[in-house]
Chains A and B, each alone.
Chain A
Amino acid sequence: MSVQELEKIFQGKVDQEIKIEPKDWMPDAYRKTLVRQISQHAHSEIVGMLPEGNWISRAPSLKRKAILLAKVQDEAGHGLYLYSAVETLGTPRNQTIEDLHSGKAKYSSIFNYPTLTWADIGAIGWLVDGAAILNQVMLCRTSYGPYARAMVRICKEESFHQRQGFEILLVLSKGTPEQKAMCQDAINRWWWPSLMMFGPKDGESTHSDQSMTWKIKRKSNDELRQQFVDMIVEQAKILNVTLPDPALQWNAAKGHYDFGEIDWVEFWNVVKGNGPCNKERLEARRKAWDEGAWVRDAAAAFAEKRAARQAQQVA
């Protein structure tokens, strides 16, 4: 069969909403796009453990500590599912991880911002996980089967994450004047970076059109961003906080909130490695990996020895 015919069958399946599975024929570019996107997603889960992990040792109550630990552990689990999904496309986990450490692969820029106070843990849950969920709910219907199925599992846990973040902020918003100020300050710092999570504007997004045709993506960056703003503005009322955007207002004609312009200079700088924590985050991941090398080597050596002993016993 010619490549053109194979591509026709492939696109036919996509159009009919039949999931593409690992052994199915797929265009090289589809495979590459998926590897890039899923690995970037996996790395975001793993690097995302760092800013929140920063507050585990200082969580203000035993209950909060346990919830935060469980949450950060969930992120590790999400990373695992996603690395496995990348493996179904023929790229082993070690390779994917090395691409992160070499700087070849990206992760979500949001994790290059620091967590300065306890309220940041709430703001990450509410805003960052809130933004991630919108993207991930869409991805539950993505055309590649293993990715879609990983997303279904992840989405269940993410909605719990968003709730716990909101709840942290709700308690702060009803607390002492210092706690209220802490809550507002965290929202001020995390609002714009959260809007940036949806990526460049539709006209400037390099991969978007093809991803829509392949049904990897089903909503554009700007559509998702608007959905996020509409959702968060309502929730902010319950928290009795303001969002740091003077242009934010209801547009009755559109049925949506209007909002101000993202600082795209900052956006591109953080993408390029100039965010406040880019170097620290990557360094922390490399350090964990390098310092763990002897453990992984020992586990592999032991597994070989054990297999050899068992083979000997059988013989």
Chain B
Amino acid sequence: MYQPVNTQAANLVNYLLHLGDNALILSQRNSEWCGHGPVLEQDIAITNISLDLIGQARSFYQYAASLEGGDATEDSLAYLRGERTYLNCLMNELPNGDWGQTIMRQFFFSVYQQLLYNALLQSRDETVAAIAEKSLKEVTYHVRWSSEWVIRLGDGTDESHARMEKALNMLWSYTGEFFMPAGYETAAVAEGIGADVAALQQRWMEQVAAVLQEATLPVPVAGKTWMQSGGKEGKHSEHLGFLLAEMQYLQRAYPGATW
């Protein structure tokens, strides 16, 4: 677990890093589509989402860096932490797969993020509440865009239906982690700063089920699938190391340089 200099702030810093890492890692994945999307308008849309997420990550990291003090900056937090101290959910670091898998992941995550940020509006920490409020406008669009695409592709052609079903089956076991609180989340809830993620699961399931039904896709039965976890605690898939190696390359190769 990441140990900030100011140990009193450890839980909050970890909580902020978790929120920032979720946004940054998904942004990094989505940005791989830039220039390679299936149609120009959607290339622009996925890049937009990537931009929104990187903006959110920066807000959380800047706040975390200010709490940590010393030399910490948004960039030292993003570029100089290794794979065991990244606290994002596993789903966000998975390779993009095809467009269907990218869309399905964005949909699952955006619905979760919308519920989460809505809850964070009540945070006792004004900065957290303000970041949530600003980000909610963006996330509301991400939910709409990804829901529309899940429906369009689920109810499109036989091929697109089959691809979406495959994406659904592939990603479902990573959705459980959203709702299993890590220690720093439980602590943040106790302090009135964080959101109780377990309490979001029911509404997430209802919203997701409604869209999957409209998309003519099967709705997984809750509690039937073994759920993967560990990302929030820094135990990741094999994919994250490569993602970070690429992302952090310049900062690691030229220590201390300004860009």
Chain A residues close to B by CB (< 8 Å): 46, 49-50, 53, 56-66, 69-70, 72-73, 76-77, 79-80, 83, 118, 168, 171-172, 175-176, 178-179, 284, 287-289, 291-299, 301-302, 305
Contact = CB atoms under 8 A, between A and B. Distances in A.
Contacts of B151: 302
B54 A291 contact: no
Contacts of B201: none
Contact of A77 (B36, B38, B44, B98): B44
Contacts of B55: 66
Contact of A73 (B39, B51, B57, B74): B51
B199 interface: no
Given A62-B61, A294-B160, A53 B35 contact: yes
A200 to B, nearest CB: 29
A291 B251 CA distance: 34
B250 A118 contact: yes
A62 B58 contact: yes
Contacts of B38: 288-289, 291-293, 295-296
B44 A57 contact: no
Contact of B160 (A72, A80, A297): A297
Contacts of B98: 291
Contacts of A58: 246-247, 249-250
Interface string B30-60: 0110111111111110011011001101100
Nearest to B75: A61
B84 interface: no
Contacts of B44: 73, 76-77, 80
B254 interface: yes
Q: Which 9 pairs from chain A and chain B are nearest by CB?
A: A292-B38, A298-B156, A298-B160, A49-B35, A60-B259, A295-B38, A53-B35, A60-B250, A73-B47
A299 B160 CA distance: 9
B99 interface: yes
A295 B34 contact: no
Interface string B79-96: 100000000000000000
A285 B128 CA distance: 41
A176 B47 CA distance: 32
Contacts of B160: 294-295, 297-298, 301
Interface of B: 24, 28, 31-32, 34-44, 47-48, 50-51, 54-55, 57-58, 61, 74-75, 78-79, 98-100, 151-153, 155-157, 159-160, 163, 246-247, 249-251, 254, 256-259
B228 to A, nearest CB: 24
A69 B156 contact: no
Contacts of B40: 46, 76, 79-80, 83
A130 B58 CA distance: 30
Residue of B79, B247, B256 contacting most chain A CB atoms (<10 Å)? B247
B258 A171 contact: yes
A294 B61 CA distance: 38
A65 B47 CA distance: 12
A302 B157 CA distance: 8
A288 B256 CA distance: 37
Given A79-B40, A299-B152, 8 more contacts: A56-B32, A56-B34, A61-B75, A77-B44, A80-B40, A298-B153, A301-B157, A302-B153
Contacts of B61: 62
A294 B254 contact: no
16 contacts: A46-B40, A50-B35, A56-B34, A57-B246, A57-B247, A58-B246, A58-B249, A62-B75, A65-B54, A69-B31, A69-B34, A73-B48, A76-B34, A76-B40, A83-B40, A291-B38
Contact of A179 (B42, B100, B254): B254
A179 B257 contact: yes
Nearest to B54: A66
Nearest to B160: A298
Given A58-B247, A66-B55, A291-B98, A176 B155 contact: no
B156 A302 contact: yes
B225 to A, nearest CB: 26
Contact of B58 (A56, A66, A178, A293): A66
Residue of A50, A288, A294, A305 contacting most chain B CB atoms (<10 Å)? A294
A176 B247 CA distance: 21
B156 A175 contact: no
Given A56-B31, A58-B246, A62-B78, A70 B51 contact: yes
B60 to A, nearest CB: 11
B163 A294 contact: yes
B39 A171 contact: no
Contacts of A305: 155
Contacts of B157: 294, 297-298, 301
Contacts of B35: 46, 49-50, 53, 72, 76, 284, 288
A257 to B, nearest CB: 31
B189 to A, nearest CB: 28
Contacts of B251: 60-61
Contacts of A289: 38
